[in-house]
Amino acid sequence: MVQAYILIQTEVGRAAAVAQKIAGLTGVTNSEDVTGPYDVIVRAEAETMDDLGKLVVARIQTIDGITRTLTCPVVRL
């Protein structure tokens, strides 16, 4: 299982709506609108890195209002 944090920048005023829409996606375990350089932080999980990439590129990045994403896979050191 691969887990990651996905940091998202949105258009002005769209953070809450984006976070709510992302929260309903399969593979998303948590979605919060936040303040700071990013507007939404998502915790997601997938079976493989390829599946995680598909979630981000095909499902999250296509949501209206998102301008940029940064995916940070969780590592166990």
9 phi and psi angles, rounded to 5 deg: -105, 140
d(CA 31, CA 60): 11
Tell whether pTM > 0.85.
yes
Cα separation, 45 vs 28, whole angstroms: 6
* Tokens 């969780």 belong to residue: 74
pLDDT confidence of residue 69: 98
Strand bridging mode 28-33 / 2-10: unpaired
Q: Which residues are 8's β-sheet partners?
A: 40, 69
Q: For residue 8, what are its two tokens?
A: 């998202």
In this prediction, residue 64 carries a pLDDT of 97
Mind listing the pLDDT tens digit of every residue in the chain (77 residues)? 999 999 999 999 999 999 999 999 999 999 999 999 999 999 999 999 999 999 999 999 999 999 999 999 999 89
